[in-house]
Amino acid sequence: RNGKVPVNDEEQTNLPYVYAIGDILDGKLELTPVAIQAGRLLARRLYGGSSIKCDYINVPTTVFTPLEYGSCGYPEEKAIEEYGKQNLEVYHSLFWPLEWTVPARDNNTCYAKIICNKQDS
């Protein structure tokens, strides 16, 4: 047990009228703005006739440390599991961020890795 709540595709728990969203869900991002949006979308589905669900996958996140890190979407291992390696195209790139051009910080580069599903045009 990890203290997280399992739900179905409609964010329902094992009790039909009890829903769970946001940080408490197993395997989902623990970000306040995501939980707030998930709550809004659930309310619209329950009371506003909407069918739109929270997209917990394509949420841009970042970690602000001396070595900054950002991501959006599946990590490569999960993308392979979800779509199959043959359906992925992986791109690697080195670049200098725009904010480094003014102070002439040219001794470091940034790295980008982009994983694309070939089936999504």
Q: Under CATH, what is the fold of the domain 74-117?
A: Enolase-like; domain 1 (3.30.390)
Q: Average pLDDT of 21-36? A: 90
17-26, 52-61, 105-114: which has the minimum mean pLDDT? 105-114
pLDDT of residue 96: 77
Q: What confidence score (pLDDT) does residue 65 get?
A: 83
Residues 6+ apart with CB under 8 A from 13: 5, 6, 7, 19, 20
What pTM, to 2 d.p., does this model score? 0.72
pLDDT at residue number 103: 62
Q: Note the pLDDT of residue 66.
A: 78
pLDDT of residue 28: 86
Q: What is the DSSP letter of 66?
A: S
User: Which residues of the chain form CATH 3.30.390.30?
Assistant: 74-117
